[in-house]
Amino acid sequence: MIDFLKLVVRDLDEVGRIWEDSRLIFYSHIQTLNHMDWESIRTREKKIYKGILFCKFEHKMEILLSPHYYRNNNVHNADDFRALDCISTIREIGDLFRIKSLEKWQIINIEYGLNFVLSNYGKELVVFAEYWKKTPFRYDTELAYSKKSYVVKKNGAANTYKIIKLYCKHSQFPEYCERDTIRIEIKSKQSKYMERIGLAHLGHLLDSKPYLLMKQELIQLSRELLILDQKTGFENLSLRETRKLKEYLNTHTWYTSLQKSTNEFYKKKQRYFNLLNITGRNIHYGLQKRVTQKMDFLCNVEFEKGLNSTALSKNEKGLNSSNNIIGISTPLGNSFSKCKVTDIYLEHEGAGAIYIRTTTLRFLQKKQPEIFQQLRLDLLPANKNKHPKYEKDLISHMAKQVRNRYYNAKRKGQGGLLKQYKNQIAAKKNFNTIRNSGHM
């Protein structure tokens, strides 16, 4: 999962102890003038050990670490790197350098993701990917068949809170992976994002919770992509539907929609998905299913059990971290139960919940407004979006619609309608088409 970490240690005793380790090999020595006064000289020295780069400054040391590469002797990162593999690697490095306090190793940058195969969509998936949420993908010159998506600030610089990267891993390492292998990554350089996924220092990576949160982030990301699939067929469409689908496959359509009202982009997205459902081939559902399956494997049901069975005592390993893997309390099953109507995780609901309620809806409205807006459009179509007679507000009205859909579907003998949501929203009339096509 974790591809890259940038750490900083400001405890000078710890810095000195690590820096004097005889296994570190000299890498470079750089002296530059301090741009603040142009008189004093700033010194930066670098040493390296098995691909781990140690950069020593006057008052701190930065460490650049790629756990996935480290595990593969710095050859590639094209295979699967499970959560337990990452934990094992972090423990190995901690033992190697006799780190007694992982809290001193602060995380300031992170990149994590997964490799997956989507048959017949290798390079094409990268080419066809156009938007993450409402943010366009840009070509990445670092690798062949690679794109990045990030919000651009007013000064033209990239907002480093969250950067999405999608690229063809086979083009990078053809000898180590299948032809259609794709990698999708999330990158951040901001502490606000680290807090969101439960990471502040290296010790947190010995706990299960950050991995579960990263799993949620990656699955959610797969639902937020807009892919203009040029392989789509038109056989099952009417002339009018064919014309509309061709319009939606044009990139200019989406750019134009962003210039209009806030809802226009998401309305078109829902109509586009409905047309893809009629064709019987919606690449978004195949992608979401594959990412979910792969993340279930990387953080499988044996995750917590495996952590506890491999955990060593603090005395045995000398790791003094409040987030050591011993005594994990995160319940995997409850963390990943999903709403039977919207397919949204029930992490904000009480035990035994089977569909989302007002608590989840309020969270989405505040923290994930794009998802909330799409859900509102689906639950409350324009002709029904009047003030309800019995519900006091919008949230209560939406919660009632979710409840009604669940019980109405159950009465029809479907056992609960599992709707695709957030790039999964589909009309009820297309439910059987999606299910039978194997894209659910």
Per-residue pLDDT tens digits for 248-264: 999 999 999 999 876 89
Per-residue pLDDT tens digits for 284-293: 998 999 999 9
Sheet holding 146-149, edge to edge: 25-33, 41-49, 52-56, 61-65, 2-9, 106-117, 181-188, 163-168, 146-149, 135-139, 129-132, 225-227
- H-helix or E-strand spanning residue 188: strand 181-188
- Give the per-residue pLDDT at 58: 85
- Give the per-residue pLDDT at 72: 92
- Give the per-residue pLDDT at 33: 56
- Give the per-residue pLDDT at 418: 43
Identify the weakest region by mean pLDDT among 82-96, 274-288, 357-371.
357-371
Residue 236 has pLDDT above 90, yes or no: no
Range 363-371, long-range pairs (CB < 8 A, 24+ positions)? 365/395, 370/133, 370/134, 370/224, 370/266, 371/344, 371/422
Question: Where residue 342 falls among pLDDT bands split at 50, 70, 90?
Answer: confident
Domain regions of the chain by residue span:
2-225+292-317
- Give the per-residue pLDDT at 413: 58
- Give the per-residue pLDDT at 9: 94
Identify the weakest region by mean pLDDT among 8-12, 50-54, 182-186, 378-382.
378-382
Residue with tokens 């068949």: 145
Give the amino acid at 30. Answer: I
- Give the per-residue pLDDT at 32: 64
- Give the per-residue pLDDT at 382: 55
Per-residue pLDDT tens digits for 140-195: 888 889 999 999 988 888 899 999 999 999 999 999 998 899 999 999 999 899 98
Phi, psi for 234 (deg, rounded to 5): -120, 15
Half-sphere exposure of 276 (CA within 13 A, CB side): 28
For 194, residues 6+ apart whose C-beta sits below 8 A from its C-beta are 107, 108, 110, 188, 200
Q: Let me know: does 110 contact 188? Beta carbons within 8 Å.
A: yes
Angle of helix 358-367 versus helix 369-379 axis, rounded to 10: 130
- Give the per-residue pLDDT at 347: 76
More confident residue, 281 or 351: 281
| pTM of full prediction above 0.85 | no
Q: Let me know: does 8 contact 60? Beta carbons within 8 Å.
A: yes
Per-residue pLDDT tens digits for 34-91: 555 555 556 688 999 999 999 998 889 999 999 999 999 999 999 999 999 999 999 9
Residue 117 has pLDDT above 70, yes or no: yes
Compute the Cα dihedral for 155, 158, 160, 162 and give only its sign: positive
- Give the per-residue pLDDT at 77: 93
Average pLDDT of the chain is 81
CA pair distance 154, 164, nearest whole angstrom? 19
Per-residue pLDDT tens digits for 416-433: 344 444 334 443 334 344
- Give the per-residue pLDDT at 329: 27
Task: Rank 189-203, 320-334, 402-416 by mean pLDDT and report only the highest.
Answer: 189-203
Would you list the DSSP string of 387-427? Answer: PPSS-SSHHHHHHHHHHHHHHHHHHTTSSS-----SS----
Question: Where residue 439 falls among pLDDT bands split at 50, 70, 90?
Answer: very low
- Give the per-residue pLDDT at 341: 86
More confident residue, 320 or 308: 308
